[in-house]
Amino acid sequence: MTPRSEHPAADLRTAITWALEREGPLFTAGELVVLRRLLALGPDAGELFARLSQRVGLVFRVAALDYACATPEALSELREAELVTGAIPDDEALLAFTVEGLREACVRLGLPRTGVRAQLEARLIGERWLAEPVILVPHRALLDRVTRLGGFDRALAPVERIVGLQWAEYVPTGGPGLFATRGALRSYERARAGELTREEALRFARAGPPPWGRSPFRAAVEAVLASDPSADELAGIPGCAVPHVRALEREGRVAEALTRCRAGDPDPEIALALARTGRRLARALGAPWPPAEPLRDAPVRKLWLPRDAAAAGPRPRWRGDAARGGELVEAAAVAAVAGAGREALHAENWLWASLFALVCRELYWLPLPGRLPTPRRGGPLDLGTPTFYTARAEAAEAVLARLRAEGVAPFAAAWRGEWLDGLVRAEEAMAVGARLDGPLVAAVLERFLRLGWSAAHGLPDLLVLPGAESRLGDAVPGLLRERAFFAEIKGPTDALRDGQRLWHDHLQERDIHVEVWMVSERL
């Protein structure tokens, strides 16, 4: 039996208390009744509900509740408070049983016990098969809302106790909170569930991306595109340009599609796609299209690796060295670099997110209105969006200038162990950052600052760490430069995407070396 612990109940009470203190007006009268009943539960009932509310699933066998707090009195208290119910249709009660439990029920009724779960359930539906009490734990959506509004993450609380999380000291900046009204909250939740009407979706999509991520914007755009991708209302909505142009072209509205291409887009990857499509449409219509400054192409290195014909999977598998097979092309390239006596990291987004957190740590806590509405946060609400930079442009440029001049070390030394959104594997990130030149790190973080987390799309596959000049076998050119550099790995059928080409151009403009490695099969 699982020993008793008061932590789950205490965490639930804390989450509810924080949510009521900070966003109480956003809860309905009925929701407030439920939350007050939860706060009034006795020790055993409170712990039992807290544990069940964090388990996978909604329906549970009473006999299988392996908790010291799962006493008859606790269950009775939860039933009287209407926080659990035993009035469950038999077809829903099936969810509480394992396959073996369903087989036992079939045997008890003289039914065949063979087959997969769906077959067993089909045999039991309509039969009086349930021979033991089963309970359903409601209010999961309400508890999700509590976490969202209060900011206390019950899933993170055990980690905090085990490792002793530290929180940054800052003065909350107030503001309207995550949602100004109950309607805004419900719209966000309905958007995430895909339940917006077309009119609602258009309204949110027209509003554009918010200064932080608490908005149904993305879901709204997807809803409108799914219903009518050529709708005229999409013409000025961010994020809709490319699918809108394609839909217009399919309908024969080529001149309108060309006009939309000419309007461009603030997102550089979307703008590149529009320029390519617009150039093609202009040729078809005999219309002019202004020349564009070409992107800088990265130099190409050819690399030959042995294919692993015995490995299965949708993508070809390779051998990076004689002992390792069945690897994707990127992992095989890392192994080949190791064979040359050098170290490479493959698509390490954790590294760049962590370095971003360490370097931009002081920007996290600038007292901007509404960005830090509550204490105990790992970062501001607009972290990972373009407005993070625009709201702090002068301070951000100063941070980048210092990074270019001094490298990562002083930023890492200033970190006091507090929780930072984006920071993972801190010791490893600092160790790698110490080996990198400040301008290289600044070139990457600059793009993350300006574009948000979406900048990770297209980041080169490999970061080859600095080391002694060496030769990469079966490669032309074969010499690996001493300083750190980036490499994009492409198999025989792969092509460069727009996001990758934009990264190559961005890095080369800042004198950061990047290559494209074209991998072919060694014959």
Give the per-residue pLDDT at 32.
97
Whether the pTM exceeds 0.85: the reply is no
Query: Which residue from 435, 507, 438 is spatially nearest to 466, judged by alpha carbons?
Result: 435
Residue 2 has pLDDT above 50, yes or no: no
Summarize the confidence of residues 382-399 as an average pLDDT.
94
Summarize the confidence of residues 273-280 as an average pLDDT.
94
Give the tokens for residue 388. Answer: 């993070």
What is the tens place of the pLDDT at every residue in 283-313? 999 999 998 888 999 999 999 988 876 666 6
Query: Does residue 22 sit in helix, strand or coil?
Result: helix
Q: Show the CA angle centred on residue 29, arms to residues 25 and 32, nearest 5°.
A: 75
Give the per-residue pLDDT at 39.
97
The domain ranges of the chain are 7-86+133-160, 182-285, 300-521
Q: How far apart are CA 250 and CA 253, in angstroms?
A: 7
Residue type at position 84: V
Higher confidence at residue 375 or residue 247? 247
Q: How far apart are CA 457 and CA 450, in angstroms?
A: 14
Residue 159 has pLDDT above 80, yes or no: no
With bands split at pLDDT 50, 70 and 90, how would you rate the model's confidence at 16? very high
What is the tens place of the pLDDT at every residue in 179-213? 778 888 888 788 777 787 878 877 777 777 766 65
**CB-based contacts of 178: which residues, under 8 Å, 6+ apart?**
23, 148, 149, 185, 214, 373, 381
Residue 268 has pLDDT above 70, yes or no: yes
Beta-carbon neighbour count of residue 344 at 10 Å?
A: 25
What is the tens place of the pLDDT at every residue in 454-510? 899 999 999 999 999 999 989 999 999 999 999 999 988 889 999 999 999 999 999
What is the tens place of the pLDDT at every residue in 247-258? 899 889 999 999
**CB-based contacts of 186: which residues, under 8 Å, 6+ apart?**
none
Give the per-residue pLDDT at 322.
55
Q: What is the mean pLDDT of the chain?
A: 89
